[in-house]
Amino acid sequence: MAERRLSAQSVALVVKRHMGPLGFDVDDFAGHSLRRGMATTASRSGAPDRTIMDTTGHASPSTLAPYIDEAHQFDDPASGYLGL
Protein backbone atom coordinates (compact mmCIF):
# COMPACT_ATOMS: atom_id res chain seq x y z
CA MET A 1 0.00 0.00 0.00
CA ALA A 2 1.28 3.47 -0.87
CA GLU A 3 2.27 5.76 1.94
CA ARG A 4 0.93 8.83 0.15
CA ARG A 5 -2.29 9.47 -1.70
CA LEU A 6 -2.42 10.44 -5.35
CA SER A 7 -2.38 14.14 -6.05
CA ALA A 8 -5.31 15.77 -7.81
CA GLN A 9 -3.10 16.23 -10.87
CA SER A 10 -2.17 12.52 -10.90
CA VAL A 11 -5.82 11.48 -10.76
CA ALA A 12 -6.63 13.88 -13.60
CA LEU A 13 -3.85 12.40 -15.73
CA VAL A 14 -5.14 8.86 -15.15
CA VAL A 15 -8.70 9.87 -16.09
CA LYS A 16 -7.53 11.66 -19.24
CA ARG A 17 -5.30 8.73 -20.24
CA HIS A 18 -8.30 6.41 -20.22
CA MET A 19 -10.91 8.73 -21.74
CA GLY A 20 -8.90 9.56 -24.88
CA PRO A 21 -8.76 5.99 -26.22
CA LEU A 22 -12.51 5.73 -25.65
CA GLY A 23 -13.00 8.54 -28.16
CA PHE A 24 -13.71 11.38 -25.74
CA ASP A 25 -12.11 14.82 -25.78
CA VAL A 26 -9.70 14.63 -22.84
CA ASP A 27 -10.12 18.35 -22.22
CA ASP A 28 -13.67 17.60 -21.03
CA PHE A 29 -12.45 15.37 -18.20
CA ALA A 30 -10.44 15.68 -15.00
CA GLY A 31 -10.17 13.95 -11.67
CA HIS A 32 -13.23 15.95 -10.66
CA SER A 33 -15.21 13.90 -13.21
CA LEU A 34 -14.97 10.89 -10.87
CA ARG A 35 -16.55 12.83 -8.00
CA ARG A 36 -19.33 14.14 -10.19
CA GLY A 37 -19.97 10.71 -11.68
CA MET A 38 -20.15 9.10 -8.24
CA ALA A 39 -22.65 11.70 -7.01
CA THR A 40 -24.80 11.35 -10.13
CA THR A 41 -24.81 7.54 -10.04
CA ALA A 42 -25.55 7.43 -6.32
CA SER A 43 -28.46 9.83 -6.79
CA ARG A 44 -29.86 7.82 -9.71
CA SER A 45 -29.65 4.72 -7.50
CA GLY A 46 -31.75 6.38 -4.81
CA ALA A 47 -29.11 7.58 -2.35
CA PRO A 48 -30.35 10.49 -0.24
CA ASP A 49 -28.53 13.80 -0.70
CA ARG A 50 -27.26 13.63 2.91
CA THR A 51 -25.56 10.29 2.24
CA ILE A 52 -23.91 11.62 -0.92
CA MET A 53 -22.86 14.81 0.88
CA ASP A 54 -21.24 12.76 3.65
CA THR A 55 -19.04 11.14 1.01
CA THR A 56 -18.30 14.17 -1.17
CA GLY A 57 -17.91 16.69 1.64
CA HIS A 58 -20.51 19.11 0.30
CA ALA A 59 -21.93 21.38 3.00
CA SER A 60 -25.45 21.79 1.62
CA PRO A 61 -27.83 20.34 -0.97
CA SER A 62 -27.49 23.53 -3.02
CA THR A 63 -23.74 22.98 -3.44
CA LEU A 64 -24.32 19.31 -4.26
CA ALA A 65 -27.02 19.94 -6.88
CA PRO A 66 -24.68 20.96 -9.74
CA TYR A 67 -22.78 17.68 -9.32
CA ILE A 68 -25.84 15.58 -10.02
CA ASP A 69 -26.23 15.62 -13.77
CA GLU A 70 -29.97 15.90 -14.00
CA ALA A 71 -30.12 12.47 -12.37
CA HIS A 72 -33.87 12.55 -11.99
CA GLN A 73 -34.75 14.52 -15.10
CA PHE A 74 -36.93 11.76 -16.52
CA ASP A 75 -38.23 10.13 -13.32
CA ASP A 76 -41.51 12.02 -13.48
CA PRO A 77 -41.73 13.88 -16.80
CA ALA A 78 -44.63 16.23 -17.45
CA SER A 79 -45.31 14.37 -20.70
CA GLY A 80 -46.35 11.34 -18.61
CA TYR A 81 -49.46 13.25 -17.59
CA LEU A 82 -50.64 13.94 -21.13
CA GLY A 83 -52.31 10.59 -21.66
CA LEU A 84 -50.48 9.95 -24.90
The pLDDT of residue 73: 75
How many alpha carbons lie under 13 Å from residue 4 in its C-beta half-sphere?
A: 4
Decide if 49 is inside a domain. Answer: yes
Give every CB contact of residue 81 below 8 A, 6+ residues apart in sequence.
none
Residue 1 pLDDT class (50, 70, 90 cuts):
low
Total number of domains constituting the chain:
1
**Does 40 reside within a domain?**
yes
> pLDDT-derived band of residue 2, with 50, 70 and 90 as boundaries?
low
**Residue 21 lies inside a defined structural domain of this protein:** yes
- pTM for this predicted structure: 0.67
- The answer to the question of residue 1 being in a domain is no
What is the domain extent for residue 50?
Answer: 12-70
pLDDT tens profile 3-58: 888 888 998 999 999 999 999 999 998 888 888 899 999 998 999 999 999 999 99
Domain annotation covers residue 25: yes
Residue 66, domain member (yes or no): yes
